[in-house]
Structure 1
Amino acid sequence: MASHTGKIDMIRGSIIKSAALFALPICVGNILQQLYGTVDTLVVGNFCDSAALAAVGTATQPMEILLCVFLGIGNGASILVSQEMGRRNADGLRMLVRTAVWFLYLCAIPVTILAMFVGPALLRLMQVPADAFDYAVLYLRITALGTLGNLGYNMNAGILRGLGDSRSTLLLLLISCLTNIVLDVAFVAVLGMGVAGAALATTIALYLSWLTSILYARRNYEGLQFPLLPHGYNKAQLAAILKVGVPLGLNNSLYSVGHVAVQAVYNMQGSVFVAGCSIAGRVTGIAGIAITSFSSAAVVFAGQNLGAGNYRRLQRGVVQITCAAGVVTLLIGLVATVFCRPLLGLFSSDPAVLDAAVRYTWWVLPFIWTYAVFNCMMSFVNGTGAVKYTTVVNLLILWAVRIPAAYILHALGYGTSSMACVSLSYAVGLVAMLGYFLTPEWGKLRRKAKELGDAVTAETEPTL
């Protein structure tokens, strides 16, 4: 089921075993990613003031807005890679990788320039507290210099996951995370560089992740001929990447803009509340580890089995993997909720900050399992290439539920409990995604499953 490179065959064998083997390295990698961001928060929280801590918590969001369109397109490339793997098309895979690298360079420089000059304006729209604004601008501009590394790593990680290799992302994140920890301590705790040091550590780690991912792909997948620099592209494949990726990217962009709108409500409550929400996000992120892991497995599982014509396996997989994600996330969420105060105490000793963080945790964590279920369903649907329905659902839960609820709570005088809008949107998203299985698109797959069954053959794998 797994090769020497860690590549998982998702079209044969036990569904849960395949998904678990694929998800486990991603799960560990997500822990490292949490550590990646947590180190910034820990070091800044212990060696800087609450304004600096609030700045680090908010400055990443304008970058997310500018990056998310491209990251969505990168996810589109990953979906197409998984489908080509299901078809065993080695030539198509090689050209797809070249096209993705060409597109990476086309986008990276304009995004960097936009981040440098548009980012501060977005921070003003977010109503970042005055005492944190200069810190936030500094953090944003330094991390913007890491745009190429950020986009490049995420693109390459998506390609490797599409191949069925999730172990590689764990290795790459381990290297990057250790680099970030060492540099954070050196720049902030030892050299006293403050927010600038934390941002510089993150930027260097991003470039290291990207370059290491290229070296890994060249060594373990020689047949892909993975390029460092642009080396041609295929118009048809570029069009296919954009067809799948642009809706995902626009969806991500509007979703990130929506997060900024919600963050503006948090910012209205002051730096102490923002700092509390920032450290609470680290604890709630613990429960989200399984969500990203199983969702990544769902995308690749759906793409590979659709490419191979395994329609029955698709139907079984959506139930089994989604249920597994929900159960694991529920258990993690309950444990993290019970022990949230000692966990949060690692980040700050300020009683007011801790009170805000505990309140956020209790409003969000017990309900995060609903997010696990509907996000896993979304990932299955995206893996089949049917991204329009998930785009509508994402826009619905954010712009019709989460944002209005946050502003209504603030207007009614319950701004310090405005995080309840997050749990409400999760519940609505779950109901909306269940509706997909009544649509004609899913009906077509059900009919194909009934008519054709599974089409797995004993074909050899593409030479990579």
Structure 2
Amino acid sequence: MSDTSTPANKGRDLTEGSIAKTMLLFALPTLGSSVLQSLNGSINAVWVGRFLGEEALAATTNGNILMFIMISFVFGFGMAATILIGQAMGRRNDTMVKKTMGTALGSIIPISVLLATGGWIFAPALLELLGTPPSAFELALTYLRMIFIAMPVTLTFTLMMMALRGTGDSTTPLWFIAMSVVIDLILTPILILGLGPFPEWGIFGSAFATAVANTLALIGMIVTLYWRGSVLTLSMPELRFLRADLSILKSMFSKGLPMGLQMIVISTAALTMLSLINREGVQTTAAYSATQQLWTYVQMPAMALSAAASAMVAQNIGANQWNRVSGITRWGLIFNLILTGTMISVLTIFDESVLALFLGSDSPAVPIGRHIQLMATWGYLFFGVAQVLFGAMRANGYVVWPLIVMVISMYPVRLGFAFGLYPTLGADALWLSFPAGMVATAVMGAGLYMYGGWRKGKILPSEEAAQTAEGYRAHGGTCSSCRDMAPTTSWKQVQEPG
């Protein structure tokens, strides 16, 4: 049955109070989580680059981008689950939250096992397709296969964190990411260098340390959620929810597939770009890898604000408080300009020192990395604008047109710019293509937000079924109008702002 109470163990209510304050209280822990994850990745990259060499650093870049493309569909699946959970929380429907969580877990675990198996088998072919430099190939293969082995744990951990944010809780993921990072930072140098009684595993040790850290953090998170009595946990009778509810699964795939395809579009465009960058030589690939570490930090405020916008808008739609949606988007854009602008300024000032951490102060790749950073990093201001707008729109299941925007921005714009102007500008065409794509995404995203039909439409299919079933049960199964609508209802809510 629907539960109208909102105790602390069920997350944060995002439908009341100051919008700016609520967004900051949600976004800052999410930003902190991203900082910790990226700092961990950066420190690991320092260990790999300084102690194993530029070939090993290039190997991790090729391995990580392939990992990213493999999990993209699952990411969209998880985002759809987050939206469903957020809207169910707004409606105070605990049963739907649990059903959604059960369906997500019961589906993502076998999917991740299949991806891991396929990734292990086809890893050599994938690296060859990418054009991985021969000197880095064996290192990249070792690294990538360990990542694939750890995929079920990694994806389940990611799903749990996304689901918690759907309930309005962005703090618990922060603590367990911190736990994972601390473990990883301790194990990585030990296993890379073989300190003490531990074996010297090199690049394999870096990936293995991350897998162990994520596994322990996931176990800790699950235990904590049960200890708290979180709305996301399933009691023994509720374990039946792990058998996928078809209406919820349909919603997850219909909304998650376009979001996953957005990630695929970004990933395949990045793969194509990396294949072009690889042609410039190992030093340029290593410089680009180090610059990507800077870009990871620059884009973190935008991603945190996008997550905050999605969670807040989803809960407010669920509570039918459309009057708050425009304010949420407006504050997201304001905070993006402040936070992302600050990150760009700080990293521009200190880029040489930071790049030297990954490459060594005397590396010839450092000036290449500085040039890449100066040419392209400013575009992330527009990236942030697009992410906030997309975050608000996807909270109502509006995902197809943002996908189309992403396809246009990544292919005709970014890749067209890179290929078309390379004969004239040389490698600069590659670096300038990044902000070109980001500006195009922001402009088209703003057009969708202002003139698209994302505010209108029916509630998500699983929510329709849930409301119908709730109404049917509330009347003891005697309400003829409820009975007539269940379970094939086409009940719609036309949702206008305000």
Give the aligned partner of residue 194 of structure 1.
202
Relative distance call for 1:57 and 1:238 in structure 2 (3 A) is same
1:323 to 323, 329, 334: 334
Any conservation in 1 of the 2:85–2:100 contact (CA below 8 Å)?
Answer: yes
Give the aligned partner of residue 104 of structure 2.
100
Relative distance call for 1:413 and 1:424 in structure 2 (3 A) is closer
Deviations 1:339-395 (A, max 9, x none): 111111122224311011111111122231111111111111111111111111111
TM-score (norm: length of structure 2): 0.86
Task: List aligned pairs for 1:16-415, cutoff 5 A.
Answer: 16-189=20-193, 190=195, 191-226=199-234, 231-349=242-360, 350-412=362-424, 414-415=426-427
Relative distance call for 1:119 and 1:423 in structure 2 (3 A) is same
Any conservation in 1 of the 2:398–2:454 contact (CA below 8 Å)?
Answer: no
How far is the alpha carbon of 1:136 from its aligned partner? 0.6
**Once superposed, what is the RMSD of the aligned Cα atoms?**
2.0
Distance 1:442 1:282 in 2: 34
Any conservation in 2 of the 1:337–1:366 contact (CA below 8 Å)?
Answer: no
Deviates more, 1:142-151 or 1:431-440: 431-440
Any conservation in 1 of the 2:375–2:432 contact (CA below 8 Å)?
Answer: yes
What letter corresponds to residue 21 of structure 2 in structure 1?
A: K
How far is the alpha carbon of 1:440 from its aligned partner? 4.7
Distance 1:227 1:433 in 2: 42
Q: Secondary structure at the match of 1:418?
A: helix
Distance 2:127 2:261 in 1: 20
**Sequence identity percentage:** 24
What letter corresponds to residue 155 of structure 1 in structure 2?
A: L
Unaligned runs of 5+ in 2: 1-5, 458-493
How far is the alpha carbon of 1:201 from its aligned partner? 1.2
Relative distance call for 1:373 and 1:32 in structure 2 (3 A) is same
Relative distance call for 1:413 and 1:142 in structure 2 (3 A) is same
Deviates more, 1:233-242 or 1:150-159: 233-242
Unaligned runs of 5+ in 1: 454-464
CA radius of gyration, larger in: 2
Relative distance call for 1:6 and 1:443 in structure 2 (3 A) is closer
Deviations 1:188-220 (A, max 9, x none): 133532211111112222222332332232222
Distance 2:252 2:10 in 1: 25
Distance 1:288 1:227 in 2: 38
What letter corresponds to residue 379 of structure 1 in structure 2?
A: G
Any conservation in 2 of the 1:359–1:417 contact (CA below 8 Å)?
Answer: no
Give the aligned partner of residue 471 of structure 2.
none
Distance 2:428 2:47 in 1: 26
Distance 1:410 1:116 in 2: 35
Distance 2:224 2:46 in 1: 31
Deviations 1:403-449 (A, max 9, x none): 2222234444612551211111111111001111343514649x955
Any conservation in 2 of the 1:10–1:301 contact (CA below 8 Å)?
Answer: yes
Any conservation in 1 of the 2:73–2:257 contact (CA below 8 Å)?
Answer: yes
Distance 1:218 1:363 in 2: 49
Q: Secondary structure at the match of 1:326?
A: helix
Q: Secondary structure at the match of 2:286?
A: helix
Any conservation in 1 of the 2:72–2:264 contact (CA below 8 Å)?
Answer: yes
Distance 2:428 2:53 in 1: 21
What letter corresponds to residue 436 of structure 1 in structure 2?
A: L
Give the aligned partner of residue 456 of structure 1.
none
Relative distance call for 1:46 and 1:70 in structure 2 (3 A) is same
Relative distance call for 1:219 and 1:406 in structure 2 (3 A) is farther
Distance 1:194 1:287 in 2: 29
